[in-house]
Amino acid sequence: MIDFTNKPLFLAPMAGFSDLPFRNVVKKFGADVTISEMISSNALVYESSKTLHMLERSELEKPYIVQIAGGDKEVLKKAVEILNQMDFVDGIDFNCGCPVNKVVKQYAGSALLNDLELFKTLVEVIKQTNKKRLTSVKFRLGFNEKYPEKMAKICEDLGVDFVSIHGRTRKQLYSGKSDYDSIAVAKMSVKIPVIANGDINANNADEVYNITKCDGLMIGRASIGNPWIFYEIKQNKKVEESLKKEIILTHFEEMLKHYQNQAVSIFRKHLHEYSKGHKEASAFRDEINRINDTKEMRKKIESFF
């Protein structure tokens, strides 16, 4: 299902970015495993029509894992039962790492690291209800302090297939550096595969493997505006500008298929990222902010990149 002997590369779930078009692009250029954007278990259970569009999978996504978040045992159970009905879902990942206030206030995401009894209860509910081949958990090093080995051990004891660890505490949010030594401690404490996450790029991937001894890497923010990062890590070489242009245009076409009329406006945030470091980038960003026509946008992309 996932070949951990080959050190797989995962795309991290990222709200507003790791949608179907983006996942399709990274699958074409080196990502081994893709995970949906974080899906609220409440939204899945009570507003499912809105959420279903977010759950769609592309043909290339094998395996495809859906990430859910929540702090209520019964709602999580119902959410997993809904996902059990979906043949295209290969696994369920439980988010215990999101540091955002509105998620933490609902006693979800990284709030669960403050209550390991509740963490254990909810992971157990998901594991026991899940009929898919994979159950995984993503978490941070801890809430204020670092104790990743505790969460890893709980997950292993409950039969979770693998864990992904972001190398910061909740308190750090996205500040400071990712602590790979702490991920290494967690990795040493369990036999199940451990995936390292946080600040990973094409330049430090080997170093992260050496420090953590992990079984794979999960890349999030470093892939935005840079989806060829997976190719660069695997091939150990830079992507040529011509291929970058092809990838950007492929991404645009995928957006059109998925979002139709809204694609041009939604794609602007990606183009802002893609254009970073280019000459005349700010003028380009200015122009595309005013373009609403598909053909005009495509022409602009072709001429700029």
> What is 4-235's CATH number?
3.20.20.70
Reported as a single tens digit per residue, the pLDDT across 124-165 is 999 999 999 999 999 999 999 999 999 999 999 999 999 999
Cα 161 to Cα 65: distance, rounded to the nearest angstrom = 12
Cβ pair 138, 96 in contact under 8 A: yes
Integer Cα distance of 116 and 142 in angstroms: 10
Domain boundaries, the chain: 4-235, 241-304
Q: Are residues 99 and 126 in contact, defined by beta-carbon separation less than 8 angstroms? A: no
Return the sign of the alpha-carbon dihedral for residues 85, 86, 89, 92.
negative
Query: What integer pLDDT is reported at residue 31 of this predicted model?
Result: 96
> Measured in Å, how far apart are the chain's first and last C-alpha atoms?
37
* 216 annotated to bind ligand: no
Return the exposure string of 121-145: e unless at least 16 CB atoms fall within 10 Å of the residue's CB, then b: ebbbbbbebbebebbbbbbbbbbee
Q: Is 14 annotated as a binding residue?
A: yes
Question: Binning pLDDT at 50, 70 and 90, where does residue 52 land?
Answer: confident
pLDDT tens per residue, range 181-198: 999 999 999 999 999 999
Distance between CA atoms of 287 and 295, rounded to whole angstroms?
14
Q: Is 53 annotated as a binding residue?
A: no
How much is the average pLDDT of 19-37? 94
- Residues 70-118 have pLDDT tens digits of 999 999 999 999 999 999 999 999 999 998 999 999 889 999 999 999 9
Q: Is the predicted pLDDT of residue 50 greater than 80, yes or no?
A: no
Q: Is 220 annotated as a binding residue?
A: yes
- Residue 1 has what pLDDT? 85
User: Average pLDDT, stretch 65-74?
Assistant: 97
* Confidence class for position 15, pLDDT limits 50, 70, 90: confident
Give this prediction's pTM: 0.94
User: For residue 113, what are its two tokens?
Assistant: 């690291």
Under the banding of pLDDT at 50, 70 and 90, the label for residue 49 is confident
Give pLDDT, residue 94.
98
Q: pLDDT digits over 199-217, tens only?
A: 999 999 999 999 999 999 9
Residue 73 is labelled as binding a ligand = no
- Six-digit token pair at 97? 């790492």
What's the mean per-residue pLDDT of the chain? Answer: 95
The pairing of beta strand 216-219 with beta strand 9-11 = parallel
Q: Find out whether 281 is annotated in a ligand binding site.
A: no
Instruction: State residue 175's pLDDT score.
Output: 87
Is residue 43 part of an annotated ligand binding site? no
Catalytic residues: 98
